[in-house]
Amino acid sequence: MDPLQLVRRWPLFRQLTGSDPLGRGDAVRSDAPEPWEPRTDEADTVTRSVCPFCAVGCGQRVYSKEGRVTHIEGDPDSPISRGRLCPRGSSSLSLVTSPTRITKVRYRRPGGTEWEDLDLDTAMDMIADRVVDTRARTWQDTDAEGRLLNRTLGFAHLGGATLDNEENYLLKKLYTALGAVQVENQARI
């Protein structure tokens, strides 16, 4: 290309010589084929959500198109975050659309050296069987002194702090009804 033409295309040159001295319009416009539109314009739904990382609770707007998430950004309406997200919060789209996410059940049999495939329904049945079996074998009605226990120490739970309130509530309710007391959460550690 003619070197002079290259200089003329240089945004700084255009800014200094053209009608856009502040460099906010034509001077800095690229010559890529129009139109460029933000992903957010093409979304068919915008859903209000909350950042899943730290406990500040920044608002998020989740843009999706045809059932797939296309963009996540800060919610300017939030009095907490005023539209901002930090590096972690800004990575939310990568978190939910990660190509390495597991989407199939993985099963490892005792002594196994590799993962195996397992149907979700079968896995749920097997897990329910394990709970019922372990609970029955490890049930404690009373302790050695005859004090009421009504419980099992045969299985335990540890949850992360992205389990939401409704999930924690049902977990605590189910475990307590099953007599499981070793129920713990990241909230301690």
Question: Of residues 150-189, which lie at the interface with other proteins (CB under 8 A)?
Answer: 150-151, 153-189
Q: Hey, what are 55's tokens?
A: 């406990």
Query: Is 42 a residue that touches other proteins (CB under 8 A)?
Result: no
Number of residues counted as binding other proteins (CB under 8 A): 118
Asked if residues 26 and 20 have their Cβ atoms less than 8 Å apart, the reply is: yes
- Per CB under 8 A, 6 contacts other proteins: no
- State the minimum distance, in angstroms, from the CB of residue 24 to other proteins: 26
Select from 62, 66, 64 the least CA-distant residue to 49: 62
Residue 106 touching other proteins (CB under 8 A)? yes
Place of tokens 């890529």: 32
Candidate ranges 12-20, 21-29, 30-38, 42-50; the one touching other proteins (CB under 8 A): 42-50
User: Is the link from the previous residue into 87 a cis peptide, with omega within 30 of 0?
Assistant: no
Question: Nearer to other proteins by C-beta: 24 or 68?
Answer: 68
CB of 139 to other proteins, least distance (A): 6
Nearer to other proteins, 27 or 154 (CB): 154
Say how far apart CA 154 and CA 135 lie, in whole Å: 6
Q: Tell me how far apart the alpha carbons of residues 11 and 16 are, in angstroms, rounded to a whole number.
A: 9
The nearer residue to other proteins, 21 or 38, going by C-beta atoms, is 38
Please give the residues from 45 up to 104 whose contact with other proteins meets the rule CB under 8 A.
45, 47-60, 62, 64, 67-69, 72, 75, 77-82, 84-92, 94-96, 98, 100-104
Q: Check: CB of residue 64 under 8 Å from CB of residue 43.
A: yes
Question: What SS3 state is found at 69?
Answer: strand
